[in-house]
Each structure stands twice: as structure tokens, then as C-alpha cells.
Amino acid sequence: MSELTTQFPAIDESFREYVPNVKFELIKIKNLVSNQNYQRNLSISHVNRTAENFDLYQINPVKVSRRNGINYVFNGQHTIETVAQVSGSRETPVWCMIYDDLKYEEEADIFANQMRFTKQLTPYEVFNANLEAGNEEQMTIKELVESYDLKISTNMRQGCICAVSALESIFSKYGYHTLDQTLYLVVATWEGDAVSLSANILKGVAKLIATYGEDLRLEAFAERLSKVSPKEITRSGKERNSGALGFAEAILGYYNRRIRYPLRRDKLYSGRKRARFLEEVGMDSDEASAAMSDEEMSNDGFPDAEQDSQEESRQPTLFDM
């Protein structure tokens, strides 16, 4: 049944109530049974993602209840499927923590409540651990942040970024250059204001940069948006749409005021959101593709303002700096 069993020294009986009555065995995956009714459905996408980033040191022991001679997995079904996929065989053994005295109802209760009192690592703690491990992505992000005289911190104050997950998300989704431009724009515009370094503003600015590229004029952005407080952008963004998209809409609205050639808001959307927006402005996809930066496609709900007569043509951008 098992290839290797690990026994532990005898336990002082005065400590018995604090030590689970288990033993560790190496059991072949083919001899493990999962998918009990109390478990969540197996996520193939999760298994594939984990397999692509397989790390032997990240494998936890599989929790197994041995009832009537059958090894029921009540924690670790994704682990065994990942190992099976990576190894290419269900003959592969995995370390299992065996409980011999559990009933089905007790397994379900343990599964339901196993994470109830577990303290999850914060994004900052995970980021810091990656720094200590010398992982390139986190080291790069830290160096980039500090190049703008900013600091990654758990305290929300001037010049400090608490939104570690936002930094990693921008870096992963859009790349180094977009994160660099995002930090440049935010600092040039709001000079390290704590609210301006929040997750949604950072991600909203990054989305604008990724969407409009060189059409987004950095000098004009800093000039126009510096007149709007990050708190006002936060209020407006929350009213407009969920998450970073609402903030991108709000920022774009302020950017487009008093400008002869506003950036088209429809470019912010894709899929159903784009279809809904086009329906709102009475256009179909073909008309939107043919349209340039006209008033209808840049409609942002902001009060109309006199167009700046000095903006007869586009100015050079700063993206080549």
C-alpha cells in the first residue's frame, strides 16, 4: 500500500492532546481517492497554472483519511493532480499525512474550517519575502519605485506605496516600461501624495498609458491633472465604474477637458463593456472603428468647457524621453 512510512518517537502522554494522531506515508497517486461531496470541484486551470510553475519545495503533504482501507484525500486534491501532470504518471508517490480515526462528517468539518483561524500572508509580507529570496521581479520593482524617491511601505503617507499588489499587477500585465511611466506620471502630477499612490489610481493611470500609448501627452497630463486632487479622482472613479476602470474613466475625463483632440473613451473598453458603451452613444463597431476622436466618442460626462484655442495640433509627446 505504501512505499515508505515515517514513524515518530513516543510522545509524552501529557502532550498527547496537542499532537494529532497521524503518521506520514508515501502513497502512489493512483491509490488516492478525492472528489468527496464536501470538496470544491477540481479546477483544471489551477492545476495547469501550478504545473507550469512547479516547485518541489512548495508541495505540502496531502491530508488523507483512511476509512475501510481506502485513502480519501480531504485536503490536497489539486496537489496530487499537479504532481501527476508534471510527472506524467499516477504511479508517482506523494507524502501523505494519514488520519486513521476520522468519520466522513469529521473530514467535511475539517475541510470546511481548516483555514478559519489561519493568518494569511499580506501582499507586503509576500513581496518582502521575495526580496529576501532575491527574486528578480520584486527586486526590479523595488529599484524602480526607489528611483522616484518613493518607498514601499505598510504605512499610507507621503511618498509611500502600500499597494504592492498593484505594482506587481502592472509589471506583470503591462511590463516594466508602463510601470515606469505610471510612476513618472503620478509623481510628476501629485508629487507623492499618499492618495495618488493608491492601487486604483496607479492601475487607472497604467491602463491609460497602455491603452493610448504616445497619444497620451505626459506634459499635458501632469498640467491638467495636477489641478485635480487625488481625493476628487477617487470620489469620481468610484461613482463611474468598478475598480481601476472607473478611475481610468475619471482621469481621462479630466484629461480631455479643454482639449481640441480628446482621446476616445471607447478604447478603454473591450467585450461586453465596449458593446454597452457603443450602444449608449448610438454607434456600432464599424462606426466606432471609422470614427476619430470626435465629441461623441470622448463623451465623459464632465461639464463642457471652452476648447483651448492654443491646441490647434498635437504636441510632441514625452514617451521618447
What does the alpha-carbon distance between residue 194 and residue 184 come to, in Å, rounded to a whole number?
15
What is the tens place of the pLDDT at every residue in 186-234?
999 999 999 999 999 999 999 999 999 999 999 999 999 999 999 999 9
* Contact between residue 200 and residue 248 where contact means Cβ atoms under 8 Å apart: no
What is the tens place of the pLDDT at every residue in 162-171?
999 999 999 9
What is the tens place of the pLDDT at every residue in 261-271?
899 888 888 75
Kindly state the percentage of the chain with pLDDT values over 70: 82
Q: What are phi and psi of 24, to 5 degrees?
A: -105, 130
User: What pLDDT does 154 receive?
Assistant: 93
Give me the domains of the chain, ranges plus CATH numbers. Answer: 4-113 (3.90.1530.10), 138-263 (no CATH)
Q: What DSSP line would sit under 56-124, residue for residue?
A: GGGPPPEEEEEETTEEEEEE-HHHHHHHHHHHT-TT-EEEEEEESS--HHHHHHHHHHTTTT--PPPHH
Q: What is the DSSP letter of 133?
A: T
User: What pLDDT does 110 receive?
Assistant: 85
**Of 57-71, 81-95, 266-280, 287-301, where does mean pLDDT reach its minimum?**
287-301
* Contact between residue 50 and residue 82 where contact means Cβ atoms under 8 Å apart: yes
Sign of CA dihedral 152, 155, 156, 158: negative
Query: SS3 of 53, please?
Result: coil
Full-model pTM: 0.72
Nearest one of 69, 70, 63, 62 to 99, comparing CA atoms = 63
User: What pLDDT does 275 receive?
Assistant: 52
